[in-house]
């Protein structure tokens, strides 16, 4: 098992290395002097010269990459141009908010998907199925940020139940923080459940056709037992894969939700980085997200054998 | 029956979108950019069906122009991603070997970034504007396109008619063009439809974030973004553009589902 994890991690290294190369060259794609671009128009010639030396811009490009990559391996992602803070610390700070929202939302969305998807598959063709599938299709067509705006409008502006703007860090006041996180989490839960419901339903339908389900029913097992003990474990694997991909995608991709609810998360960090042309921050966000993506997918692969006994970890 | 209704609704909504875009070329209820501060933040009425925004600009006219922008950007992006992705996917799947390994390694590395993040990163380099969005989104959706095209090409290249073409001494290019590509078209067509929806969604998200199409040109996304401060006083500003996006996506998705059913008869129970 440990050998397998190590092997998978080693296999992920070329991908991560390629990601690092891409992130490095991204900034070099910008026309002009990278040091000047990174420091902005108002930079003094001395500052530009100093950054030149630090980045090794007078050296050949592969040496520049080696210097940058060396820093990276030591966990040094540089400092933010606009705030002067180390990018590594910024990322860790911001990842907490994003992490809480993403994990709770995807967790809830998965539970909803299992329930709704299984029931829809079980009563395939019924009105209930039609309702579930129409709901899922509608969710797929609603942009998450607009759903967020609507929820904000209803529960914040019209009903005054929940705060509209602001944020309390989780570490200071968990309950107060939760109050600000209810709407973002609700939004993301609804948004992400659409695809998951469809996936769960379609794999449950495939499993319901199989002989062992007929056999389980013929044994006289209660429908509930058949569904939970026989159908669910065999139908969950594809949804689990999708859950992994979703978590990886959302870690970098909920900038819109964070913007709607003014949450200080990773996506927001990336967007302000892009707008301010704060390239160390942009590079840091990209690297961090790619790393999370690779790790989450590894975790999912490790969980796979639990749900599909044909897959063995070796 | 239900499928039929699905398809008709999809066709209807997509047709409506195209009609609105076309009508917008010859007629708009107001000048979408004309500022009229005397009638700022007016609620929907007979004169202004969807109300006016903080500058007194007609929301209906802006939404119509926004439809044009979204559709144009989506068509350009999808065309670029599909043409390039099909070429690369075809080459990777047909030639296999080293070409495939190199192409797939690069596209797998790109797939490690969420699409919207990759687009944001490219926009940070290219600057904002319509062309940057097209380039950024096309690159962001390229890896997935390559992967899907390659997937279907791999199975097509093993079929007898491809073998026959090869044995007959046709060049690889001729075989790809004449025998592999036409048979790979159905999945590519379905993909193009899904891509269209994703691009409309991503473009509105980017514009909402303020890195997409810059104001004063209206897009559904930047209209929603500028509506944010007026939630208390003018909630209609937050509603109309969102409904436009939802109806567009519903139409496209239903059309995509209908196409999938047509080309994939396996699940016709």
**pLDDT > 90 in chain B, percent:** 35
Residue A299 CB: number of other CB atoms within 10 A?
14
Whole domain around residue B62: which residue ranges? 2-268
pTM: 0.87
CA separation for the pair A17, A146 (Å, rounded): 37
Q: Would you say B204 and B224 are in contact if contact means Cβ atoms under 8 Å apart?
A: yes
A277 or B62, which is more confident:
B62
Would you state the pLDDT for residue B264? 66
Question: Is A86 strand, coil or helix?
Answer: strand
- Residue B27, pLDDT score: 84
Residue B228 has pLDDT above 90, yes or no: no
Q: How far apart, in Å, are the Cα atoms of A106 and each of A58, A97, A100, A271, A286?
A: 47, 14, 10, 23, 21
Residue of chain A with shortest Cα separation from B254:
A137
pLDDT of residue B78: 96
DSSP3 helix / strand / coil % (chain B, rounded to 5)? 75, 0, 20
Q: What is the pLDDT of residue B269?
A: 38
Q: Are B120 and A255 in contact (CB < 8 Å)?
A: yes
Which residues 235-264 of B are in CB contact (within 8 Å) with A?
235, 238-239, 241-242, 245-247, 249-250, 253-254
- Say if B115 is an interface residue toward chain A (CB within 8 Å): yes
CA distance B121 to B113: 10
Chain B partners within 8 Å of A252 (Cβ): 113-114, 116-117
Asked whether B6 and B258 are in contact (CB, 8 A), the reply is: yes
Q: Which pLDDT value is given to residue B265? A: 53
Q: What share of chain A is helix, strand, coil (3-state, %, to 5)?
A: 75, 0, 20
Q: Which of B120, B210, B241 sits opposite A270 (nearest CB)?
A: B120
User: Assign residue B127 a region: left if phi > 0, alpha if psi is -120 to 50, beta otherwise?
Assistant: left
Q: What is the torsion angle, in degrees rounded to the nearest 10, for the CA atoms of residue B20, residue B26, residue B32 and residue B34?
A: -170
CATH, residue B260: 1.10.3720.10
Helix (H, G, I), strand (E, B) or coil at B212: coil
Q: How many CB atoms lie within 10 A of CB A14?
A: 12
- With CB atoms and an 8 Å threshold, state whether B120 touches A18: no
Give Cα A271 distance to the centre of its chain. 16
Taking CA–CA distances from A15, the nearest residue in chain B reads B109
- The confidence score (pLDDT) of residue A245 equals 85
Q: Report how far residue A266's alpha carbon sits from residue A91's, in angstroms, rounded to the nearest whole number.
A: 7
A164, A256, A274 ranked by CB distance to B124: nearest: A274
pLDDT band at B197 (very low <50, low <70, confident <90, very high): very high
Per-residue CA distances from A225 to A110, A217, A219 (Å): 20, 9, 11
For residue B201, list chain A residues with Cβ-Cβ distance below 8 A: 143
- Identify the H or E element spanning A63: helix A61-73
Contacts of A248 in chain B (CB under 8 A): 114
- Please spell the DSSP secondary structure of B166-183, one letter per residue: HHTT--HHHHIIIIIHHH
Q: Could you tell me which residue, A16 or B74, shows the higher pLDDT?
A: B74
For residue A18, which residues of chain B lie inside 8 Å, CB to CB? 105-106, 109
Domain count, chain B: 1
The pLDDT averaged over each successive group of 10 residues in chain A (314 residues) is: 78 85 83 72 79 76 85 86 87 90 95 94 92 92 93 87 76 78 93 93 91 89 88 87 88 86 90 86 90 85 72 58
Q: Scanning the structure block, which residue is given the tokens 């902005």?
A: A40
ipTM score over 0.90, yes or no: no
């Amino acid at each position: 098992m440990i050998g397998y994890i190590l092997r998978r991690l080693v296999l992920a290294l070329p991908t991560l290395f390629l990601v690092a190369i891409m992130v490095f060259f991204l900034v070099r794609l910008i026309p002009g002097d990278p040091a000047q671009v990174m420091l902005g128009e108002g930079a003094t010639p001395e500052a530009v010269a100093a950054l030149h030396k630090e980045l090794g811009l007078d050296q050949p490009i592969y040496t520049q990459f080696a210097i940058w990559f060396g820093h990276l391996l030591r966990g040094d992602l540089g400092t933010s141009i606009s705030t002067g803070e180390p990018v590594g610390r910024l990322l860790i700070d911001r990842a907490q908010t994003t992490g809480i929202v993403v994990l709770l939302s995807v967790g809830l969305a998965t539970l909803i998907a299992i329930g709704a998807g299984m029931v829809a598959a079980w009563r395939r063709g019924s009105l209930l199925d039609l309702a579930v599938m129409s709901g899922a299709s509608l969710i797929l067509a609603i942009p998450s940020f607009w759903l967020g705006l609507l929820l904000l409008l209803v529960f914040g502006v019209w009903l005054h139940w929940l705060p509209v703007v602001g944020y309390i860090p989780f570490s200071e006041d968990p309950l107060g923080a939760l109050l600000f996180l209810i709407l973002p989490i609700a939004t993301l839960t609804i948004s992400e459940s659409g695809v998951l419901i469809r996936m769960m339903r379609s794999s449950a339908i495939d499993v319901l056709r199989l002989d062992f389900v007929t056999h389980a029913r013929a044994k006289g097992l209660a429908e509930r037992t058949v569904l939970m003990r026989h159908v669910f474990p065999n139908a969950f694997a594809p949804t689990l894969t999708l859950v992994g991909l979703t978590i990886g995608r959302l870690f970098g991709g909920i900038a819109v939700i964070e913007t709607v609810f003014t949450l200080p998360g990773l996506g927001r960090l990336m967007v302000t980085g892009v707008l301010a042309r704060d390239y160390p921050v942009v590079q840091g966000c990209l690297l961090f997200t790619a790393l999370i993506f690779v790790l989450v997918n590894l975790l999912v692969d490790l969980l796979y054998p639990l749900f599909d006994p044909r897959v063995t970890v070796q | 029956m239900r499928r039929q209704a699905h398809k008709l609704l999809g066709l209807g909504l997509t047709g409506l979108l195209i009609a609105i875009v076309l009508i917008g070329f010859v007629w708009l209820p107001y000048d979408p950019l004309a500022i009229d501060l005397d009638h700022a933040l007016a609620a929907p009425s007979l004169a202004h069906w969807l109300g006016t925004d903080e500058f007194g600009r007609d929301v209906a006219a802006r939404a119509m122009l926004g439809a044009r922008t979204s559709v144009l950007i989506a068509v350009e992006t999808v065309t670029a991603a599909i043409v390039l992705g099909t070429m690369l996917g075809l080459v990777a799947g047909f030639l296999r070997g080293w070409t495939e390994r190199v192409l797939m390694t690069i596209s797998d590395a790109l797939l490690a970034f969420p699409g919207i993040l990759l687009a944001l990163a490219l926009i940070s380099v290219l600057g904002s504007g319509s062309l940057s969005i097209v380039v950024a989104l096309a690159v962001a959706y390229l890896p997935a396109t390559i992967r899907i095209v390659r997937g279907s090409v791999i199975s097509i290249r093993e079929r007898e008619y491809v073998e026959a073409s090869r044995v007959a001494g046709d060049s690889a290019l001729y075989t790809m063009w004449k025998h592999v590509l036409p048979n790979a078209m159905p999945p590519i067509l379905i993909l193009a439809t899904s891509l269209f929806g994703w691009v409309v969604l991503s473009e509105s998200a980017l514009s909402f974030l303020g890195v997409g199409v810059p104001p004063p040109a209206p897009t559904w996304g930047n209209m929603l973004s500028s509506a944010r401060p007026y939630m208390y006083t003018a909630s209609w500003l937050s509603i109309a553009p969102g409904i436009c996006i939802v109806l567009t996506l519903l139409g496209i998705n239903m059309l995509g589902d209908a196409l999938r059913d047509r080309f994939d008869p396996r699940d016709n129970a």
